[in-house]
Amino acid sequence: MASTNDLKNGLVLNLEGQLWQVQEFQHVKPGKGPAFVRTTLKQIPSGKIVDKTFNAGTKVETANVDRRTMQYLYKEGEDFVFMDMESYDQFPLGPGLVGDAAKFMLENSEVTIAWHDGKALYVELPASVELVITYTEPGLQGDRSSGGTKPATVETGAQVLVPLFIDNGEKIKVDTRDGKYLSRA
């Protein structure tokens, strides 16, 4: 059990028998009335997002989640195969569990997988990854000073909007949370 004052991003709660991950939270103390905590919760594994408000100091049940660093090995059919870095055991996980993380995972890259009661919940990537551009249209010479963007395909097959001056074969940094271009690598 934890208090709503102990909430932080990434914490997994057990509410009414379902697991919810805290995406955002905000403590609000209005001029009149008691303080409360406004949260955005993501249901595991469905990905449904809801807003929920708790009274300040309310007790909430937390789920015991074990986060393990694993290596993504390869894709076998629809499944993604991961290896535990400590025990060297291999685990195939379905595309529903991996979700959007599949767009930015390279073979042999390290990811964090959250486990609850021996069952994988979700895959967490690092905040940013470095990927090579496999295809993008050439930028026009006069457009380099403007803030325009163009679509580019990276080595994992994902589409990323990049500035006009980026060319094929360049390595870029991509934010894995929203899929946006950060910088050249």
pLDDT in tens, 89-141: 898 998 888 888 888 998 899 999 988 888 888 888 888 999 999 998 887 65
Residue 143 has pLDDT above 60, yes or no: no
Which residues does residue 92 pair with via DSSP β-bridges, in sequence order? 81
Question: What three-state secondary structure class fits 144?
Answer: coil
Any idea which fold 2-60 has?
SH3 type barrels. (2.30.30)
CA 63: distance to chain centroid? 19
Sheet holding 149-154, edge to edge: 159-163, 149-154, 128-136, 171-175, 181-184
Q: Which CATH class is domain 66-124?
A: mainly beta
Which residues does residue 161 pair with via DSSP β-bridges, in sequence order? 151
Tell me, what's the pLDDT at 173?
92
- Give, for 96, the enclosing helix (H) or strand (E): helix 95-98
CA distances for 174 relative to 90, 166, 171, angstroms? 27, 13, 10
Tell me, what's the pLDDT at 67?
87
Q: Where in the chain is the domain with CATH 2.30.30.30?
A: 2-60
The correct CATH number of 128-184 out of 2.40.50.840, 2.40.50.140, 2.40.160.10, 3.30.1520.10 is: 2.40.50.140
Task: Copy the structure tokens of residue 8.
Answer: 């932080």
Task: Copy the structure tokens of residue 48.
Answer: 């449904």
Q: What is the DSSP letter of 178?
A: T
Q: Where in the chain is the domain with CATH 2.40.50.140?
A: 66-124, 128-184
Instruction: Output the pTM of the full model.
Output: 0.75
Contact between 156 and 105 under an 8 Å Cβ cutoff? The reply is yes
